[in-house]
Structure 1
Amino acid sequence: MVNSLYERDFLLWTTDTVTKLKAKRFEQLDLQNLIEEIESLGRNQKKELKRRLLVLLEHLLKRLYVNSPDNHRGWEITINEQRRQLELEIEDSPSLKTIWNESFSAAWRIALKGVRKDYPQVIFPDVWPYSQDIDSMLDCDFWEK
């Protein structure tokens, strides 16, 4: 069996697909792989949101609860970078707001597990004690409250 262009050369397949789409040669499209690729784009955006939230929450937890002033600045830099990246993701795909709470819950669970393992001597809260809405998470320096 001969491998499809998609399997042999992904970049060439994407170029060929774009050419066919622009020429409106829809009957010549590799629809099965095109559908899978478009679906994966959406999944990747959701994963990116969760990844960024995970890193943000881990560093917020460390900044708020780990007594290590020498590390505060580094944690704050990471917090700010994750916030910028989340803002860009949401600006590019505003519909990510609709899965914010679900993504937050998943990221919180994993972040909490991670920091508890890394800092067993520190008592972290079981639930996020601050607002988890998008604006608060992207703007509030919770440690200044």
Structure 2
Amino acid sequence: MSNAPKVDAADDLYDRDGYAWSKREADLLRQGRFAEIDIANVVEEIESVGRSELRAIVSSYRLIAMHLLKWQHQPERRTRSWRNTINRERGTLEIDEAKNLSLAARPLPLIDQAYRTARKDAADETGLPLSTFPETCPYTAEELRSRDFLPE
């Protein structure tokens, strides 16, 4: 017997207690009680997971690109902290891409998206004019991912 409570369509568990809702839906799925599943919200949650994975990878590319731009355009201000941030984000990116092979296989649109913000962030953080930084990402996906690459 399931621990999942039998609920009717008027139940608002999804809005009241997301954790209890997710446990109930998982139990219903495991038991094959498909007619009782809150399909609309299950679909929304699955799509949300995909969006979160995408956001995480774009965020890592953004941070890596921003710090590489700072590294390249302000060599006199290079710090261990910048290098640590680059390497930490490369590690995070490696883990996230290993769990999301379809995103890892097509990095260029993600890099383009991330770079638009990275460029602005680098200008804000360095105080250099936005025009200092190339309009398109000067780094390849391999360079952004490689723990050995730092622009000089």
- Scaled to the shorter chain, the TM-score interval is 0.7 to 0.9
> Is the counterpart of residue 97 in structure 1 residue 88 in structure 2?
no
The 5 A counterparts of 1:61-140 are 61-69=69-77, 71-121=78-128, 123-130=132-139, 132-133=140-141, 135-139=142-146, 140=148
Quote the offset at 1:137 in angstroms. Answer: 1.7
Quote the offset at 1:98 in angstroms. Answer: 4.0
2-side partners of 1:109 and 1:89: how far apart?
A: 21
> Is the counterpart of residue 37 in structure 1 residue 45 in structure 2?
yes
1-side partners of 2:137 and 2:44: how far apart?
A: 36
1-side partners of 2:22 and 2:76: how far apart?
A: 49
Q: How many residues align?
A: 140
Moved more, 120-129 or 22-31: 120-129
TM-score normalized by the length of structure 1: 0.87
Alignment root-mean-square deviation, CA: 1.8
Unaligned regions of 5+ residues in structure 2, if any?
1-9
Give 1 or 2: higher helix fraction: 1
User: Which residue in 1 is equivalent to 2:19?
Assistant: 11
Give deviations 1:77-122, integer Å, cap 9, x for gaps. Answer: 0000000000001111111124411110011111111111222336
Moved more, 14-23 or 97-106: 97-106
1-side partners of 2:120 and 2:11: how far apart?
A: 44
Quote the offset at 1:39 in angstroms. Answer: 0.6
TM-score normalized by the length of structure 2: 0.83
Quote the offset at 1:25 in angstroms. Answer: 0.4
Q: Percent identity?
A: 29
Residues 111 and 137 of structure 2 are in contact (CA less than 8 Å); yes or no, is this contact kept in structure 1?
Answer: no
Change (3 A) 1:67 1:142: closer
